[in-house]
Amino acid sequence: MEITLDKHSANQASIKIKLNEADYQPKVDAKLKDYARKAAIKGFRPGKAPISMVKNMYGVSVLVDEINNILGESLNNYLKEQTFRILGEPLPVEKEDNSIDWKTQKDFDFEYQIGFVESVEVPLDKKTKGTKYTIKVDDKLVNETIDNLKSQYGESTNPEVSEAGDHIYGDLKVVDGEFSKTLSLPTSKISKKLAGKFTGISKDAVVEFESKEVKKDEWTEAFGLTADEIAEVKGGLTFTVKNINRTAEAELNQEFFDKIFGPDQVKSLEEFTEKVRETLQGSYDRESKVFTEEELKKELVEKANISLPDTFLKEWLLKANEGKVTVEDVEKEYPIYAKQLTWSLISNQIAKDNNIQAEHADVIEKTKEMIREQFASSGLGAQLEASMDVFVDNYLKGNDGQNYMNMLTSVQNEKVLALVQEKIELKEKTISIDEFKELLEK
């Protein structure tokens, strides 16, 4: 057997494997003898059929199977010996039809395309800069949240005549066009001037206005239109009222406190306000942690400067998902895949260099945290904890065990990023909610 490697570029190559009769024939002969001992062929007692007949019947299929086994094992062992890191799976170079004569041919040539990276180097030192963001929950956000909760848990009515702040349910239509959509319009989220046209009206009223009267962000936040829909709402518009919805704000009393946080968790307005602040801060702490880590990933990806074999990987993705995706699908999704793959290479290398391992106990604990967050507002509390082991076990076994592997990867990434933050020059920065939203939009 002869195996040769031909590098076409810094990250793509072909591997050629030559097999001669001595490489495969002993295994083929052994397999045919085994067939002869077990085969039940008409006209012969079990195990008494001539080997020539068995060879004539099964020779080609046994030869193909054994050569495929040899190729797979040899290719796998050869790649393990290399210093570079294989990406995806080797792709066999397809031969023309009938280019192999399995009955008479003695020597065989096979070729595979591979994609790889030579090395992944991610030095962690103070030359690498990063920012650790902390979002400050201010009084404005706390008060807005309490107001929203009061509206959410208030009593709903359907008055005959609308007032400021009502939700107007009806049909939005373009005068000179075909666009129309039924929606609920929160008048508190549009300008006072436009909201005035929706005040003091009743069911079946038709409100006329111009698209230019609606501010750009109001199309999404108030009317709930998509980008494609926004492009269609030009010129004159009408809104035919079908119903008026009004919510009277809930009173800030013990009943309200219990609805939000559970029985007797808070017993005064001061405690309620502080609990809202703590809950918001906890939520934004998680968001700022995720944002910080994503920004660090970008920095490390740029610093590592890994060149992926894009052409090869696109072809591999197409063939690995044959029938499920198109060339267009692969082209569209590839940038996301490439970023994830690059980070995976970096994370694995940092973990290897620093002996970082995701332990089973870490996976269990992280899964518990995830489940607690999902059921945080359910009020189950003690019941959830009593059944936690069952929840965790069911989740980690789900998706044919892929959930466990995903959680294992997540734990490793957390440990890697925690180490990164210890090693690099990390500046801490406290920002407001509005500043955080601006960063997200960049």
Does any domain span residue 346?
yes
Give residues with Cβ within 8 angstroms of 269, minimum separation 6. 252
Does any domain span residue 328?
yes
| DSSP-derived secondary structure letter, 251 | P
pLDDT tens for the chain, 442 residues long, are 999 999 988 899 999 999 999 999 999 999 988 887 777 777 676 766 778 887 888 889 999 999 999 999 999 999 999 989 999 999 999 877 667 888 889 999 999 999 999 888 888 889 899 999 999 999 999 999 999 899 889 889 999 999 999 999 999 999 999 999 999 999 999 999 999 999 999 999 999 999 999 999 999 999 999 999 999 999 999 999 999 999 888 999 999 999 888 888 899 999 999 999 999 999 999 999 999 999 999 999 988 889 999 999 999 999 999 889 999 999 999 999 999 999 999 999 999 999 999 999 999 999 999 998 887 766 666 678 888 999 999 999 999 899 999 999 999 999 999 999 999 999 999 999 989 988 988 7
Cα dihedral sign, 215-217-218-224: positive
pLDDT score recorded for residue 11: 94
* Pair 321, 362 in one domain: yes
Q: What six digits make up the tokens of 13?
A: 């190559």
| DSSP-derived secondary structure letter, 96 | P
Domain encompassing residue 161:
155-248
- The whole-angstrom distance between residue 192's C-alpha and the CA centroid of its chain comes to 41
Cα separation, 315 vs 325, in Å, equals 11
* Pair 194, 319 in one domain: no
CATH of the domain at 235: 3.10.50
* Pair 301, 417 in one domain: yes
Amino acid at 436: F
CATH of the domain at 60: 3.30.70.1050
Does any domain span residue 431?
yes
The model's pTM is 0.73
Residue-wise DSSP of 382-397: HHHHHTHHHHHHHHHH
Q: How many domains does the chain have?
A: 3
Cα separation, 415 vs 356, in Å, equals 7
pLDDT score recorded for residue 393: 93
pLDDT score recorded for residue 318: 94
Does any domain span residue 49?
yes
pLDDT score recorded for residue 38: 75
* Pair 243, 300 in one domain: no
* Pair 178, 73 in one domain: no
Does any domain span residue 144?
no
Does any domain span residue 253?
no
* Pair 327, 359 in one domain: yes
- Three-class DSSP category at 1: coil
* Pair 66, 175 in one domain: no
| CB 305, CB 118: distance < 8 Å | no
Cα dihedral sign, 186-190-191-196: negative
pLDDT score recorded for residue 224: 95
* Pair 9, 88 in one domain: yes
Beta bridge partners of 109: 18
* Pair 279, 420 in one domain: yes
Does any domain span residue 27?
yes
* Pair 432, 289 in one domain: yes
CATH of the domain at 437: 1.10.3120
Does any domain span residue 168?
yes
* Pair 87, 52 in one domain: yes
* Pair 200, 293 in one domain: no
| CB 40, CB 46: distance < 8 Å | yes
- Domain end residue (candidates: 193, 219, 248): 248
